[in-house]
Structure 1
Amino acid sequence: MALWLIGAFLATALLYASVGYGGGSTYSALLALSGYDYRLLPILSLSCNVVVVTGSLIRFARAGVVPWRGGLVLSLVAAPLAFLGGLTPITERSFLVLLGISLIAAAVLLLLPTTAQDRPGGGRAARLMPFAAAPLGYLAGVVGIGGGIFLAPLLHLSRWDNARRIAATASLFILINSVSGLVGQLTKAGVGRFSEAIGDGLPLLLAVVIGGQIGSLLALRLLPECVIRWLTAALTLYAGSRLLLG
């Protein structure tokens, strides 16, 4: 396993966990750019997601900022679609194009201003979020991401809650959808693919454990959220552009 890839996974986990995300979108992009087998790629990416957001969610829960009821509604609406996404056959070229477009869209959403801190508790737009969660679940299952990187900006725009509770909601959403998407991927590819992917990617899993713990700590205590969001957006935009430009 290349040292640059291990370092990139650690940095990605650190940045994404800082804003409540798992990093699956960028893990997938980094693996694709490294020439990793695209059939194993979502399995390893989703596994890394689970590792990172589990740690983040535990920290958010201990801090008492997880809106369990609302977060579970969004997550359980999306989870069946994530499973179906994981089952969906897709060619390598289609996978890479869809992933690249998804990354660029995520970067743009990350750069949108977050007004939820000042005016939480949105009206009609906030109540429509479960309808937005369903297609995000399907996308998550297809390309090996958690979907929280798309959900969180929508929650901010709808003034669904304050920024910390939205980050915690994104962690819960990503965890449930990553597990559901992973089950779908393994149903499609066979359980044997899991041991193959994890065996190859063990150093990457260890890297995201370390990065994720540091990142979730920063999310609650140290770095301004706007700085983290800009850094995350820059990384996401770069990875997506590289994929699309070949």
Structure 2
Amino acid sequence: MPPLLIAAFLITALLYASVGFGGGSTYNALLVLSGADYRVMPLIALVCNMIVVCGGIWRFARTGDLSARRLLPFLAASVPAAWIGGRTPISETFFVGVLGGALLLSGIRLTFQKRESEPVPRHDSTRRIHPILSTSLGGAIGLLSGLVGIGGGIFLAPVLYFMRWGTPRQIAAASSLFILVNSFSGLAGQLMKLQDMALLSEAAPYWSLPIAVLIGGQAGSWLASYKLKPDLIRRLTALLILYVAARLLWRWTGMI
């Protein structure tokens, strides 16, 4: 395993964990740029995703920002949809294109994300979302996330911001839980797909990457806990994501 790839995973986990996300899309992108087989990338990325995001969920649960009950309508459809997406074979062109677009969206969202120090909105300033709309959105995000092997937080967070679902910290907490649950579901689908295709063993050489993100995720959670210039960390994360997105989309243009 190239030491540079291990270091890149560690740094990515550190940055993502510090802002409450898992980093699945960037792990996939790094694997694409390293020349790995695209069919096993989602499996590796989802495992790393779950390792990193657990720290954020624990942190948000302690601060009281996590509300699983309010998120339930989104999860009701996203969980089975993520499994279906993970189980479905896709082309490399589709995989790289959607992944590049997801990274671009994530980088832009982090660039313009509200500061956590902003005044907390009144309870009546948050909107109640109709369960049918929540379920439909959750299903669509879950399916797309399962197809490319990510947790879906980078799709969910902008939707929740647009709908004024809650405060920035509440949305980050909801996204973290959404990522964890859908990563489990997507991983189950990916395992079944790879087993059917006799490709499961191809992921074995990447065993060191989950260890790297465990270390990086713990470091990122420590940074977040001690509030070491969160805005600077967020900007650095956005720059990393946008750079990787640009490289990935450039590669995608040569594939279409």
TM-score normalised by L of structure 2: 0.87
Residues 12-44 of structure 1 deviation map (CA, whole Å, 9 limit, x = unaligned): 111111111110000000000000111110000
- How far the C-alpha of 1:115 sits from its partner, in A, is 7.5
Q: Structure 1 residues 211, 132: CA separation in 2 closer, same or farther (over 3 Å shift)?
A: same
- How far the C-alpha of 1:75 sits from its partner, in A, is 2.5
Q: 1:123 aligns with which of 127, 131, 148?
A: 127
Letter in 2 for 1:186: L
Contact 1:85 1:142 in 2 (8 A): yes
Within 5 A, what are the aligned runs for 1:80-159?
80-114=80-114, 117-118=118-119, 119=121, 121=123, 122-123=126-127, 128-159=133-164
1:64 alignment partner in structure 2: 64
2:3 alignment partner in structure 1: 3
Letter in 1 for 2:87: L
- The structure with the largest alpha-carbon Rg is 2
Q: Aligned residue pairs: how many?
A: 245
TM-score normalised by L of structure 1: 0.90
Residues 59-94 of structure 1 deviation map (CA, whole Å, 9 limit, x = unaligned): 322333311211333233311111111122211122
Per mean C-alpha deviation after superposition, the further-off stretch among 151-160 and 23-32 is 151-160
Within 5 A, what are the aligned runs for 1:158-177?
158-177=163-182
Q: Structure 1 residues 147, 61: CA separation in 2 closer, same or farther (over 3 Å shift)?
A: same
- How far the C-alpha of 1:206 sits from its partner, in A, is 0.5
RMSD of aligned alpha carbons: 2.2
Contact 1:120 1:162 in 2 (8 A): no
Contact 2:17 2:56 in 1 (8 A): yes
Per mean C-alpha deviation after superposition, the further-off stretch among 57-66 and 24-33 is 57-66
- How far the C-alpha of 1:173 sits from its partner, in A, is 0.4
Residues 163-214 of structure 1 deviation map (CA, whole Å, 9 limit, x = unaligned): 22222211110000001111111122218644541x2122111110011112
Percent identical pairs in the alignment equals: 49
Within 5 A, what are the aligned runs for 1:214-225?
214-225=219-230
1:182 alignment partner in structure 2: 187
Contact 2:76 2:138 in 1 (8 A): no
1:25 alignment partner in structure 2: 25
Per mean C-alpha deviation after superposition, the further-off stretch among 164-173 and 227-236 is 227-236
In 1, the alpha carbon distance for the partners of 2:6 and 2:27 equals 10
In 1, the alpha carbon distance for the partners of 2:104 and 2:156 equals 15
Consecutive unaligned residues of structure 1, counting only runs of 5 or more, are: none
Within 5 A, what are the aligned runs for 1:186-225?
186-190=191-195, 193-194=199-200, 196-197=202-203, 199-225=204-230
2:234 is the counterpart of 1:236:
no
Contact 2:73 2:138 in 1 (8 A): no
Letter in 1 for 2:186: G
Consecutive unaligned residues of structure 2, counting only runs of 5 or more, are: 252-256
Residues 125-159 of structure 1 deviation map (CA, whole Å, 9 limit, x = unaligned): 68754443222111110111111122123323322
